[in-house]
Amino acid sequence: MTPTTETMVGIGGAAESTDMVLNIGPQHPSTHGVLRLKLVLDGERIQHAEPVIGYMHRGAEKLFEARDYRQIIMLANRHDWLSAFSNELGVVLAVERMLGMEVPERAVWTRTLLAELNRVLNHLMFLGSYPLELGGITPIFYAFTEREELQHVMEEVSGGRMHYMFNRVGGLKEDLPAGWTTRARTAVADVRSRMDRFDDLVLGNEIFRGRTRGVGALTPQAVHAYGVSGPIARASGVDFDLRRDEPYLAYGELGDVLKVVTREEGDCLARFECLLEQTHNALDLADACLDRLAELPPGPINQRLPKVLKAPEGHTYAWTENPLGINGYYLVSKGEKTPYRLKLRSASYNNIQALVELLPGTLVADMVAILGSMFFVVGDIDK
């Protein structure tokens, strides 16, 4: 009997049963944020995903313990550099609560106004950069045009373009410049008049919708399990917003203007829609604050503080609805001029954990769409 030879062709060395480990990042350490994703692939499909963080960890929480209550504001506004004003706000609210301090009404409304303008600035960055990550270059130019319009008024009032350093324990650094509210109102109206570019150019694009609809769906159960918050959580139907549910600043008086935007789908498209609609609402809130400021009589913008500020012994937790989600500061004081402990709960740190559940089962081609829709800042993860 003639012996036969069997030959197998085309399986690539039994590749069907071989997992490949792929590292996405870390990028060059001089960039403004470094995140690494360790993926285990089966062909083009992701089997396992692990976010690897800590490449730019700066030990902010430890540095808080070596700075007094005026100096820690500078550290706090840098972990999420797109939400600097909101970051400062959480710190001063915590210290004011410890002191039992009442803030002047003009400061309350001005803080609310600037927090909403900062929210628009944050969202515009992601409204422009997310389509860029999917191959659409035009929206980023429009986003920066609108950002510059608002940056001008924020820079005029505070002196800073990104790190405003305008909050102080007891109020704000100084009163608003003469005529500033008129210029701010004009800037808000100009930005609002051009926001339909994102509705038409991005949401109306069939390629964008094809890349995002039904991709990376996050369940409400996963939102609760991982502590996800902000527009990402609300896109999955989790109807929670601190501005409405535990009002701070002047939000308790803005209930008729404040709209909590939610979706049920929980996919990449829903997250983008939430972000866009929330930007529209933030502009409405800014207008409402400007109207209220116009009605207030002249008065102080801050409280007079002692030369050395010491918080009484005790502890408190102050959380705010930052643009990217819940931002919290747990402050422990031993009665000194520096915090004994200041623990930061940042939005991006919790939100990025959900990638462990989101990415497995999806295609590598969808990984960028999902990652970009999580709207995170790496400094807010590594703090």
Q: Which residues contact 48 (CB under 8 A, 6 or more apart)?
A: 39, 40, 360
Q: Which architecture characterizes domain 60-381 according to CATH?
A: Orthogonal Bundle (1.10)
Contact 309, 169 (CB under 8 A): yes
Residues facing residue 102 across a β-bridge: none
Checking if the pLDDT of 204 tops 50, the result is yes
Which value, in Å, is the radius of gyration of the alpha carbons in the chain?
Answer: 23
pLDDT at 67: 93
Contact 325, 351 (CB under 8 A): yes
Average pLDDT, the chain: 91
Tokens at 267, concatenated = 């996919």
Other C-beta atoms within 10 Å of 144: how many? 15
Percent of the chain topping pLDDT 70: 94
> How do 45-52 and 36-42 pair as beta strands?
antiparallel
Give the Å distances, CA to CA, from 364 to 20, 35, 44, 360: 12, 17, 6, 10
pLDDT digits over 260-297, tens only?
Answer: 999 999 999 999 999 999 999 999 999 999 999 999 99
pTM above 0.85, yes or no: yes
Q: What are phi and psi of 25, to 5 degrees?
A: 85, -175
pLDDT at 32: 64
Tallying the residues shown for the chain, one arrives at 383
pLDDT digits over 74-108, tens only?
Answer: 999 888 889 999 999 999 999 999 999 999 999 99
